[in-house]
């Protein structure tokens, strides 16, 4: 009897099935009104699957399922078979026998069956499968005759005995293995495949003798007995120790019980009208609507796997077995329309009759995912919204970048060419010869050679070497290190913080830790910025190729989504790319990158080193026209769209040489040429760098703090922004600058900075007699800003959450330090009384931490909107391009996300999915 | 007419005073039922004060006050005198005339009066004072006769003319000054005091001629006219431009108006039965109940100030004017019982009659504040709770430490011996000779010499030089720099981050920036750790001396307060001091300081440099008994009380030499002795230091992160704690260790660390067959911990807010960087459109930021208590010893505060005041 709680909500159905314990595959789906949940509970996952596949109208070898409640009854009754259950099974089985025209135990036309367990949740540890139940002295001969393959028949029989003895009779496997080994020794062979039919027959008989000897009873010849014991064995296996352990570990209810699936065996090796195969209903690589797979005539599934015969392409079946092939095509269509997705199927043809053994959702490439989703929607199998849900947003990223050929990369791995794995700092595939020197990167690239720049870490001085390189590798630094940020901005592959690369810049070589390999200048390597892997030699790449469907899908996404999508872009080129990918403006333009270009850095350094105000003013005056040109370019590329410009953010020492290098240089010069003018110059520089040095620069003199203490810099920037905007406005172009003041933690910082800077803006507009539509706002990246957002909103027209820094401060993690030093260990797990316990499931710099950082954001949104109901709210940290974080941004009511140009398509799709998720939850 | 809104709540009173515009000082207090608020509004601050002083029963020169409403009437009536007002003034003045037996304008017995403005709020910019109104050709002669001092009479007259002309007649002051200068030139003198009576008479006549010439009218001889014009001038001055500007600046209502105070003049220079003086009703230095002050016979107030005659001690008055002295003592008693506090008074004796001119609450030293408060309570003038409110908690700190003699320090300042001011990192006064080398500090101190250690910054290696020094000065580092923290822990004066001290350790000298002074080794300096000041040479100090009243007051505080007070103490000595000062346990025992002592550091370094697990285990085994001894000492000192021990918190590189020093050393060695074994050793060390180096160590591998990655260290610590506890328990001593796991930001960090460590504790207790009462808890110092406090409380029996770090993360301020680089500027103000605007009013590391950090704390308290209602809540950041932060801790419901031992008395008093504040608000 099934208790009502387990058979689901519908009362009528519960009553209908109340006394039925055994269901035909063919009836079950209807009996449970197609309710997948109820079916899973009553029939187990496997049984429900078989029922549904049968109901989809395809030909499945017939069979029956004994419901899970019977297993519970068995357990609760002190492990005794429920009364009348075997009779009910026999009764239903007789219908199967009638259907296939064979009978269990029949000498002429024996029915062979498989018996499988199948609980609600997939559960290793329980009894799995017994194949070919029904074989005995008599039926084995019939099998030999039917398949014309005596060896196959006896091999099946000895396997059945072996499996049955171990699983049902609970005899040790070892003794059977010993017998096989003895036989091999005796015959002087080494492989199972070398046994002849006769030798296998001998083995089967020896197995049976062994069973009798060990268990004291002969191996059951009676097929009913075989079946009864097998069903009981499945029930028993629910409570074996491995199953209990697994359920404890995975918190699965011990009271669920397992179903038993009994299914007719079919044989693809009967004759030349029989076959076996696997195929996808569409091409899983391209998504094209055509069967894709392979088959073997007169063969069993194992033959495909064993690789002893070469399978044929599925399309050849059209010539060889045209009728079956037609049926297979029709079956594919039926399955797709039932399951509403591309399927990966296993089938067998027995004497011209097609049987489906298994179907499941087919895995596919990103390109295929996009095409299949769009095609299914065009074919009206799914609707547009469902199509949007069928593509994992991050997959889209792959489509925009070259990637390594999967097989060739796999081959490289298998042949030991994998060198090391660092952080996947900027996605994409790159191949080139190693160079260590940025100048050399530049000169070799000019000669048309492809190079990978390998450094300990990079700095602004190296930009000219990064730009022409195919990719960048650093041995130090995290996901926000200079190399990583710059490479992502350029869409250039980068592997950062690869600590096992011991880079020796002087010797111009890399020692690969844990190996005795040394890589020298000029050696070819392949780097995968999407995974962080580095390989020796070249790996084949695939170019990106954006399909028509790519555009269609994103257009559908745009129709659905509420969240705006902007890009983080610092140059006119970035801005153009972003706009091509559908960005509706710039959410973060980092002006510091403008300061770091090769020709400007000396001017910036001159400004920093200025001994007095007038020297500083001189340097700033040189920077002004450069900045103005930058903004003109960006505004043009984003004409008509808003451009959020963040004023200078990093601490000034980032524009000067590194302290440690200067200390070493000065110490060396003091020891070698104490009177040189070079020493004097270096000492002056060192003093300035020491003066600017900070213990924790991340929390030091940067952002608006810098702007408040050195207002001339931000004033120059605002002047450049407005002079650029006014110039374009006069040209009839529409520009919408949004000035973003970074790192505000106290409302007064914003109030004072804004007051001072807005005056500069007004002065420019008045002088030029032209007004521009502009906004002032702030980056919300300090916990205190979230907590006092109501005060801050009084002085900001927009908030943009800088979740990189906000995550750093909220967790107290310096990203550069944490990723290398402990975050990895936190995610892998820490020993706790001998067991590994994960501290974090995800890297909070990749996936927004809703519980902590998210809580602060919610506070900020609520308080901000309370103070200023039309406040614009965005996010411009890296989370702006990560789907689960985008969903959260949508949930808490942000207006837009901003991400790197190459993530814009990802964000568009994720934003649409965020809506769909919510409407699903509303159901 | 007074509008009811301004005369306060009591209707009857409003009606009673409704038509009265002029009040006698003697009647006003009663007329307003002693309601100070109403009096201030109607009579102005000065008038209300005079009324109250008169009402207290002391003899005040009689006078009248014209109410503020008359000024409003004057303004609202187009600046015309309210009808009948002058008549009313004259009427009331006649009563004064009767009282003193003199009449305004009377040739024989002229009454002289002063006329003063006086609004509700003290307001510079308005007319201040006219003295000696009533003088004219006739009365000046009478004044000369009465005082027997013709020079005084004419000097008073010419001053009256000058002031009246300028203030009432609005003539320029310059011309009068010109006349004085001309006269001096003519006579060949330079000082005003050199004028004779006759010359002053000439000057007065010249002044009058000038008035006539410039104004076209003669200077008024008629004293009624003098008075009428003066009253109107006061009314007018309410609306002069300076007054309006001041009210705008201070947001004072322009409609309040000013009162006019008209008071009889008294003369201390009438004869030898007259005098003038100032005195405190108790000794403001010691609090002793005896008059303290000075006086001059036959003199005006100016004579005391001018310093031409030396005043006598007030006690001598007992012999010279015994009756007046007795009256003065009685007056002091009356004033104290009325004002309920020690008073600072000005008085004049006119022909044997004592007049009180002014009284105000007397300023006092910390010692006096304590004694006066206790004595007033014993004398039943105030109650105990009021006594608790009379002492500023931070003052108590002074009593525990030597301090500089106020006068001597003042002298040093005036004589240019002030050298520089750094951060007041650890309070107290110290004098000693400069040493730069910690070894020298140690050796010289052993010889009995007193030294001040001066360094760029200190590190653990310097401890042996800090311990024996009188005080420490560093030129770099903030309030939490090594020097500051160590010095505070020891109660040793320290001035940190004194940037104008350019310390050259090689030359062993300090160049004082902005001066051309060079300080060399051996030079004596005096440092004031309470103010950050540094002086050349020695300044007299005063030793601390704890009075009986100090104990009494704190006992009263203990009776009232709810908050527990614990101490931050790292050594048995600290613990003993803390207990003496009344700490109820240790709230923070920082174990890292135990690692930094001279003999242990090498072992700690050995542990860090260990190449493998067994080497590390060896070093840890050496540390174990040392740690155990530490804890035994601390537990003994705190027997019966809880001791919260924080496991190792700082990043490991803090125990190794500094990276920058090593880089320089290695570079030098490479250039000079490239093959030396020393270079090899330094290179190894450098590699380790580089490996441990972090960009932002404050947010790096420290706290529980360190404990999780290197569990052996914390396990050793917990083993030491429990072995110590068990050993004492076996000795019959009660110990209550509380293990605090620092820097938790995610519940899993705490969960895993606690599980692992609690097992160690249990193992020790089981092995030793002794159980100890213990708790596990965490420091709440990461914003995310506050936001997820409910989860964390599941695994913590206590929270201790580490508000130093919490403030750092919430603001995103690295304290070491911020205090030197921008916090000071934030508090001083930033230019904003030409005006200075403060960004912060207070340093959030000193006074807890309630709006931001406090909001996080409230969230944590609420969520923590929800998850665990008996959660113990404390605060152990430096705010735990700061009164306003203690009040906040009380408000949000913490159980205790923990502060440095020398702050314990401060905290006890502040905790009591927190209660009193709240109950006051409840009223």
Q: Which B residues in the span 722-761 are in contact with A, Cβ-Cβ below 8 Å? A: 743, 745-746, 748-749, 751-752, 755-756, 759
B755, B782, B811 member nearest A811 (Cβ): B782
- Tell whether the model's pLDDT for residue B920 goes beyond 50: no
The whole-angstrom separation of Cα B741 and Cα B648 is 9
What tokens were used for A626? 């450069």
A691 and B CB contact within 8 Å: no
What tokens were used for A841? 């499931």
In chain A, which residues have their Cβ closer than 8 Å to the Cβ of B659? 660
- Nearest chain B residue to A856 by CA distance is B787
CB A494 within 8 A of CB A462: no
Q: Which of A71, A279, A374, A482 is catalytic?
A: A482
Cβ separation A821–B660 shorter than 8 A: no
* CB contact set of A764 (below 8 Å; sequence gap of 6+): A719, A722, A723, A726
The whole-angstrom separation of Cα B759 and Cα B140 is 97
Three-class SS string for A479-492?
CCCHHHHHHHHHCC
Q: What is the ipTM of this complex?
A: 0.82
The Cα of B664 is separated from the nearest Cα of chain A by a number of Å equal to 5
In chain B, which residues have their Cβ closer than 8 Å to the Cβ of A457? none
B249 and A CB contact within 8 Å: no
More confident residue, B306 or B854: B854
A746, A751, A839 member nearest B752 (Cβ): A839
More confident residue, A491 or B432: B432
Distances (CA, A) of B136 to A439, B96, B223, B499: 96, 20, 8, 62
Which of A708, A715, A784, A825 to mutate against chain B (most B CBs within 10 Å)? A784
* Mean pLDDT calculated for residue range B67-77: 95
CB B192 within 8 A of CB B199: no
Is B619 in a helix, a strand, or coil?
A: helix
* Mean pLDDT calculated for residue range A189-218: 92
Please state the φ and ψ torsions of residue B342, each to the nearest 5 degrees.
Answer: -65, 135
What average pLDDT does chain B have?
Answer: 91
pLDDT at A309: 75
CB A860 within 8 A of CB A889: no
Cβ separation A752–B696 shorter than 8 A: no
* CB contact set of B231 (below 8 Å; sequence gap of 6+): B66, B81, B85, B86, B89, B115, B260, B262
B699, B751, B810 member nearest A784 (Cβ): B810
A708 and B CB contact within 8 Å: yes
B816 and A CB contact within 8 Å: yes
Cβ separation A812–B809 shorter than 8 A: yes
- Nearest chain A residue to B670 by CA distance is A668
Rounded to whole angstroms, the maximal C-alpha distance in chain A is 108
Cβ separation B759–A833 shorter than 8 A: yes
Specify the length of chain B in residues. Answer: 923
The whole-angstrom separation of Cα B331 and Cα B326 is 9
CB B412 within 8 A of CB B418: yes
Which of B839, B840, B845, B857 to mutate against chain A (most A CBs within 10 Å)? B839
Please state the φ and ψ torsions of residue B733, each to the nearest 5 degrees.
Answer: -100, 145
pLDDT single digits (tens) A594-610: 888 778 999 999 999 99
At A922, the pLDDT band (50, 70, 90 cuts) reads: very low
* Mean pLDDT calculated for residue range A350-370: 91
B659, B671, B756 member nearest A660 (Cβ): B659
Distances (CA, A) of B116 to A670, B81, B132, B163: 73, 17, 12, 13
Q: Does an H or E element contain B115, and which?
A: strand B113-119
- Nearest chain B residue to A816 by CA distance is B695
Cβ separation B696–A701 shorter than 8 A: no
More confident residue, B726 or B411: B726
Helix A659-672 × helix B659-672 angle, to 10°: 30
Cβ separation A668–B665 shorter than 8 A: no
CB A537 within 8 A of CB A524: yes
CB B26 within 8 A of CB B54: yes
* Mean pLDDT calculated for residue range B581-585: 96
The whole-angstrom separation of Cα B870 and Cα B877 is 22
- Tell whether the model's pLDDT for residue B16 goes beyond 60: no
The Cα of A771 is separated from the nearest Cα of chain B by a number of Å equal to 21
* CB contact set of B605 (below 8 Å; sequence gap of 6+): B655, B656
In chain A, which residues have their Cβ closer than 8 Å to the Cβ of B497? none
Cβ separation A805–B817 shorter than 8 A: no
In chain B, which residues have their Cβ closer than 8 Å to the Cβ of A810? 745, 782-784, 787, 809
- Tell whether the model's pLDDT for residue B14 goes beyond 70: no
Cβ separation A851–B812 shorter than 8 A: no
Residue where the block lists tokens 């440099």: B609
Burial B417-455 (b: 16+ CB within 10 A, else e): bebbebbbbbbbbbbbbbbbbbebbbebbeeebbbbbbb
- Tell whether the model's pLDDT for residue B452 goes beyond 70: yes
Rounded to whole angstroms, the maximal C-alpha distance in chain B is 108
pLDDT at B395: 84
Which of A748, A812, A836 to mutate against chain B (most B CBs within 10 Å)? A812
pLDDT at A612: 87
* Mean pLDDT calculated for residue range A152-181: 91
- Tell whether the model's pLDDT for residue A11 goes beyond 50: no
More confident residue, B516 or A479: B516
Beta-strand relationship, A524-528 and A429-435: antiparallel
What average pLDDT does chain A have?
Answer: 91
B695 and A CB contact within 8 Å: yes
pLDDT at B305: 59
Helix spans in A731-802 (H): 747-767, 783-787, 789-793
* CB contact set of A359 (below 8 Å; sequence gap of 6+): A53, A58, A335, A339, A343, A344, A345, A346
Exposure of A714 in the CB half-sphere (CA atoms within 13 A): 29
Rounded to the nearest 5 degrees, what angle is found at the Cα of A680, between the Cα atoms of A678 and A682? Answer: 70
A811 and B CB contact within 8 Å: yes
The whole-angstrom separation of Cα A403 and Cα A395 is 12
* CB contact set of A838 (below 8 Å; sequence gap of 6+): A826, A827, A828, A829, A830, B748
At A12, the pLDDT band (50, 70, 90 cuts) reads: very low
B685 and A CB contact within 8 Å: no
The Cα of A750 is separated from the nearest Cα of chain B by a number of Å equal to 9
- Nearest chain A residue to B788 by CA distance is A852
pLDDT single digits (tens) B264-321: 999 998 889 999 998 999 988 789 999 998 899 998 877 765 556 778 899 999 999 9
A660, A696, A856 member nearest B699 (Cβ): A696
Helix B904-922 × helix B393-400 angle, to 10°: 170
At B543, the pLDDT band (50, 70, 90 cuts) reads: confident
CA-closest candidate to residue B420, choices B509, B514, B539:
B514
- Tell whether the model's pLDDT for residue A723 goes beyond 60: yes
In chain B, which residues have their Cβ closer than 8 Å to the Cβ of A814? 694-700
* Mean pLDDT calculated for residue range A137-147: 93
The whole-angstrom separation of Cα A407 and Cα A202 is 44
pLDDT at A4: 40
Catalytic residues of B: 482, 876
What tokens were used for A469? 């390189």
* CB contact set of A68 (below 8 Å; sequence gap of 6+): A6, A41, A42, A43, A44, A119, A120, A256, A257, A258, A259
The whole-angstrom separation of Cα A453 and Cα A44 is 55
The whole-angstrom separation of Cα A111 and Cα B583 is 88
In chain B, which residues have their Cβ closer than 8 Å to the Cβ of A804? none
In chain B, which residues have their Cβ closer than 8 Å to the Cβ of A686? none
Three-class SS string for B869-914?
CCCEEEECCHHHHCHHHHHHHHHCCCCEEEECHHHHHHHHHHHHHH
Beta-strand relationship, A541-542 and A896-899: unpaired
CA-closest candidate to residue B539, choices B524, B555, B526, B557:
B526
* CB contact set of A497 (below 8 Å; sequence gap of 6+): A422, A423, A425, A474, A475, A476, A477, A478, A481, A819, A820
A706, β-bridge pairs: none
Which of B689, B696, B850 to mutate against chain A (most A CBs within 10 Å)? B696
Q: What is the DSSP letter of B311?
A: P
In chain A, which residues have their Cβ closer than 8 Å to the Cβ of B665? 667
- Tell whether the model's pLDDT for residue B889 goes beyond 80: yes
CA-closest candidate to residue A270, choices A355, A193, A349, A157:
A349
The Cα of B837 is separated from the nearest Cα of chain A by a number of Å equal to 7
Cβ separation B755–A833 shorter than 8 A: yes
The whole-angstrom separation of Cα B917 and Cα A629 is 60
The whole-angstrom separation of Cα A437 and Cα A885 is 38
CA-closest candidate to residue A530, choices A912, A903, A904:
A903
pLDDT single digits (tens) A442-456: 889 888 899 999 999
The whole-angstrom separation of Cα A319 and Cα B183 is 135
The whole-angstrom separation of Cα B888 and Cα B825 is 26
B665 and A CB contact within 8 Å: yes
At A843, the pLDDT band (50, 70, 90 cuts) reads: very high
At A6, the pLDDT band (50, 70, 90 cuts) reads: very low
């Amino acid at each position: 009897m099934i208790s009502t709680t387990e058979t689901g909500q519908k009362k009528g159905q519960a009553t209908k099935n109340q006394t039925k314990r055994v269901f035909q595959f063919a009836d079950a789906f209807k009996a449970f009104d197609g309710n997948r949940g109820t079916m899973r509970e009553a029939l187990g996952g496997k049984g429900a699957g078989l029922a549904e596949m049968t109901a989809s109208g395809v030909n499945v070898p017939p069979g029956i399922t004994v419901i899970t409640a019977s297993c519970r009854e068995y357990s609760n009754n002190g492990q005794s078979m429920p009364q009348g259950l075997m009779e009910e099974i026999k009764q239903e089985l007789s219908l199967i026998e009638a259907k296939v025209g064979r009978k269990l135990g029949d000498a002429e036309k024996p029915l062979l069956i498989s018996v499988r367990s199948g609980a609600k949740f997939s559960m290793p540890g329980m009894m799995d499968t017994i194949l070919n139940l029904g074989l005995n002295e008599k039926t084995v001969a019939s099998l030999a005759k039917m398949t014309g393959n005596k060896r196959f028949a006896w091999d099946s029989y000895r396997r059945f005995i072996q499996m049955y003895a171990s699983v049902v009779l609970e005899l040790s496997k070892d003794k059977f293995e010993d017998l096989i080994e003895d036989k091999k020794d005796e015959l002087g062979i080494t492989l199972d495949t070398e046994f002849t039919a006769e030798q296998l027959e001998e083995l089967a008989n020896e197995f049976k003798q062994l069973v009798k000897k060990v268990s004291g009873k002969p191996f059951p010849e009676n097929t009913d007995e075989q079946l009864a014991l097998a069903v009981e064995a499945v029930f028993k296996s629910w409570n074996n120790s491995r199953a209990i352990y697994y359920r404890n570990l995975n918190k699965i209810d011990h009271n669920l019980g397992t179903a038993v699936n009994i299914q007719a065996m079919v044989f693809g090796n009967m004759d030349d009208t029989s076959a076996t195969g696997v195929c996808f209903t569409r091409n899983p690589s391209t998504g094209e609507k055509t069967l894709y797979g392979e088959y073997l005539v007169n063969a069993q599934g194992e033959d495909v796997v064993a690789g002893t015969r070469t399978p044929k392409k599925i399309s050849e079946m059209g010539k060889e077995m045209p009728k079956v092939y037609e049926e297979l095509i029709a079956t594919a269509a039926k399955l797709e329309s039932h399951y509403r997705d591309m399927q990966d199927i296993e089938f067998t043809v027995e004497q011209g009759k097609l049987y489906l053994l298994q179907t499941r959702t087919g895995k596919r490439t990103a390109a295929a995912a996009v095409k299949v989703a769009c095609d299914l929607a065009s074919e009206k199998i799914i609707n547009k919204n469902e199509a949007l849900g069928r593509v994992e947003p991050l997959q889209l990223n792959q489509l925009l970048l070259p990637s390594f050929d999967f097989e060739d990369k796999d081959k490289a791995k298998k042949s030991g060419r994998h060198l090391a794995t660092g952080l996947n700092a900027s996605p994409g595939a790159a191949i080139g010869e190693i160079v260590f020197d940025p100048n050399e990167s530049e000169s070799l690239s000019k000669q048309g050679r492809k190079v990978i720049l390998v450094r300990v870490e990079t700095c602004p001085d190296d930009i000219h070497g990064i730009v022409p390189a195919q990719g960048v590798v650093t041995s130090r630094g995290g996901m926000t290190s200079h190399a990583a940020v710059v490479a992502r901005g350029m869409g250039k592959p980068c592997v950062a913080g690869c600590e096992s690369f011991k880079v020796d810049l002087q010797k111009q070589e890399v020692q690969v830790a844990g190996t005795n390999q040394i890589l020298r200048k000029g050696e070819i390597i392949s780097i995968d910025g999407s995974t962080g892997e580095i390989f020796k030699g070249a790996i084949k790449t695939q170019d990106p190729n954006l399909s028509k469907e790519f555009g269609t899908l994103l257009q559908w996404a745009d129709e659905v989504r509420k969240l705006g999508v902007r890009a983080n872009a610092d140059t006119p080129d970035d801005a153009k790319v972003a706009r091509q990918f559908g960005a509706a403006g710039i959410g973060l333009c980092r002006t510091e990158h403008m300061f770091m270009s090769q020709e400007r850095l000396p001017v910036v350094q001159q400004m920093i080193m200025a001994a007095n105000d007038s020297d500083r003013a001189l340097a700033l005056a040189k920077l002004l026209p450069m900045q103005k040109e930058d903004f003109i370019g960006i505004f043009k590329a984003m004409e008509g769209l808003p451009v959020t410009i963040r004023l200078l953010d990093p601490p000034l020492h980032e524009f000067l040489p590194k302290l440690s290098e200067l200390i070493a240089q000065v110490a060396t010069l003091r020891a070698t040429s104490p009177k040189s003018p070079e020493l004097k110059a270096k000492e002056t520089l060192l003093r300035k760098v020491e003066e600017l040095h900070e213990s924790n620069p991340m929390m030091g003199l940067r952002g608006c703090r810098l702007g408040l203490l050195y207002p001339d810099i931000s004033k120059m920037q605002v002047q450049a922004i407005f002079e650029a905007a006014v110039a374009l406005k006069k040209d009839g172009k529409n520009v919408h600058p949004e000035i973003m003041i970074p790192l505000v933690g106290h409302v007064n910082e914003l109030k004072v900075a804004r007051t001072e800077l807005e005056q500069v803006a007004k002065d420019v507009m008045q002088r030029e007699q032209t007004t521009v539509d502009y906004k002032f706002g702030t980056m919300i990246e300090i916990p205190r800003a979230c907590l006092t957002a109501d005060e801050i909103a009084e002085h900001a027209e927009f908030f943009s959450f800088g979740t990189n820094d906000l995550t750093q401060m909220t967790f107290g993690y310096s990203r550069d330090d944490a990723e290398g030093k402990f975050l990895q260990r936190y995610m892998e797990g820490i020993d706790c009384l001998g067991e590994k316990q994960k501290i974090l499931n995800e890297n909070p710099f990749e996936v927004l931490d809703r519980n902590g950082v998210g809580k602060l954001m919610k506070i900020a949104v609520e308080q901000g909107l309370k103070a200023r109901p039309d406040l614009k709210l965005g996010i411009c940290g890296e989370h702006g391009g990560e789907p689960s974080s985008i969903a959260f941004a949508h949930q808490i009511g942000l207006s837009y996300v901003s991400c790197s140009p190459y993530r814009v398509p990802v964000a568009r799709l994720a934003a649409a999915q965020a809506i769909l998720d919510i409407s699903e939850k509303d159901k």
